[in-house]
């Protein structure tokens, strides 16, 4: 099973990479065939990727004495989940808005995250990078253990809920980047070919706001479920955990975004920068804050 899971992961990575390249070529050529192929490959890769994660989940759930809760508690699997969700959200955005060009701004994030996962696999088992995924999965499964704590459904879903919101923020970040570039060019009266190819500013602004509006409830629910479980498991809701602190900061930034955007009618450049800053915090939370966290530290995948 691990072999299949690893193989599907490798295929998904190659697919994402190919789709990203096609979208980048599309930016230059504006030939719809490129974005069309990119879209098809992306869909296929996302399905393959979901299968890979599904197998992992199934294996984990059927292991005697283990529950599925532990599944996202290591770098590799969380990177994998994160990138799948980024791609899924992008496919949804493109379905609604037909903004193929944004693939060039969003997909690199999914590819980078998958690449980090592959690098981790390679560091754990320096075989050929693609074969090492299987080795890493074996190591992870061998070392996977759960703290002696009650596991609830809420504890299980709080991770994917928060990752879904992060994936939407990642999409908003990519589109925000495109917006900031396009806006600056038009404002400064030097529009280049790129700004003629990007979607209209107002439309990008709307898509960013909708992504944040969709992600915010998921983030809120994820945090509440996590905190509720903390009380159940550790007897306290607030334990001054680095990751929880950062997550609340992220929640505050995006909450502020929604308040000024829909409440005060701020739009355009200022709100775009706000969403960029929010995703900056997400990245810090995901990387740095982990090492200072008591409860959220990832299993490294190293034996011993």
Partner 1 sequence: MKRLRLLGVSHRTAPVEWRERLAVPDDRLPALVERLRARAAVEEAVVLSTCNRVEVYAVTEAEDVAPLRDEVAQWHNDPRLTETFYFHEDEAAVRHLFHVAAGLDSLVIGEAEILGQVKRAYDLAKQAGATGKLTNVLFQRAIHVGKAVRTQTKISEGPTSVPSLAVSLAERIFGELSACRALVVGAGAMAELALRALKSQKVAELVVANRTAEKAAALAQAIGARPAPFTDLNKELVHADIVLCSTGSPDFIFRPEQVAAALHERRGRSLFFIDIAVPRDVDPAVDALDNVYLYNVDDLEGLVAESLGRRETEIQRAGGLADAKAGEFAPWYDSWRAGARAALRHGDRDLAGTKMEAHG
- List interacting residues with partner 1 (CB under 8 A): 29, 31, 182, 186-187, 189, 191, 193, 195-196, 198-203, 265-270
* CB closer to partner 1, 54 vs 200: 200
- What is the H or E stretch that residue 78 is in? helix 75-97
Closest contact distance (angstroms) between CB of 210 and partner 1 is 15
Closest contact distance (angstroms) between CB of 216 and partner 1 is 19
Residue pair 113/75 in contact by the 8 Å Cβ criterion? no
Residue pair 132/30 in contact by the 8 Å Cβ criterion? no
Which is it for the CA torsion 111, 116, 117, 121, positive or negative?
positive
Q: Up-side HSE of residue 2: CA atoms within 13 Å toward CB?
A: 15
* CB closer to partner 1, 53 vs 209: 209
* CB closer to partner 1, 198 vs 215: 198
Residue pair 67/149 in contact by the 8 Å Cβ criterion? no
* CB closer to partner 1, 26 vs 163: 26
Closest contact distance (angstroms) between CB of 217 and partner 1 is 23
Closest contact distance (angstroms) between CB of 259 and partner 1 is 13
* CB closer to partner 1, 31 vs 127: 31
Residue pair 226/130 in contact by the 8 Å Cβ criterion? no
Closest contact distance (angstroms) between CB of 97 and partner 1 is 11
Partners of 299 in beta bridges:
74
- What is the H or E stretch that residue 31 is in? none
């Amino acid at each position: 099973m691990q072999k299949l899971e690893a193989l599907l992961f490798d295929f998904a990575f190659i697919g994402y990479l190919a789709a990203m390249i096609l979208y980048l070529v599309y930016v230059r050529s504006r030939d719809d065939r490129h974005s069309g192929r990119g879209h098809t490959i992306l869909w296929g890769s996302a399905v393959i990727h979901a299968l890979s994660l599904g197998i992992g989940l199934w294996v984990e759930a059927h292991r005697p004495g283990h529950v599925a809760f532990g599944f996202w508690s290591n770098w590799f699997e969380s990177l994998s989940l994160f990138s799948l969700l980024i791609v899924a959200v992008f496919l949804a955005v493109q379905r609604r808005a037909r903004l193929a060009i944004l693939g060039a701004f969003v997909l690199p994030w999914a590819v980078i995250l998958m690449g980090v996962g592959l690098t981790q696999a390679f560091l754990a088992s320096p075989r050929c990078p693609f074969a090492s995924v299987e080795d890493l999965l074996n190591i992870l499964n061998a070392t996977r253990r759960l703290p002696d704590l009650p596991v609830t459904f809420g504890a299980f879903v709080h991770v994917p809920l928060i990752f879904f919101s992060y994936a939407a923020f990642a999409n908003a970040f990519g589109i925000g980047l495109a917006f900031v570039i396009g806006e600056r060019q038009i404002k400064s009266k030097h529009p280049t070919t790129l700004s003629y190819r990007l979607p209209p500013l107002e439309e990008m602004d709307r898509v960013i706001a909708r992504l944040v509006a969709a992600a915010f409830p998921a983030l809120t629910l994820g945090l509440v479920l996590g905190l509720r479980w903390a009380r159940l498991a550790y007897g306290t809701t607030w334990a001054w955990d680095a990751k929880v602190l950062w997550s609340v900061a992220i929640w505050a930034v995006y909450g502020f975004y929604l308040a000024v955007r829909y409440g005060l009618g701020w739009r355009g450049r200022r709100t775009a920068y706000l969403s960029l800053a929010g995703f900056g915090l997400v990245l810090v939370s995901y990387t740095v804050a982990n090492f200072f966290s008591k409860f959220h530290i990832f299993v490294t995948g190293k034996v011993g």
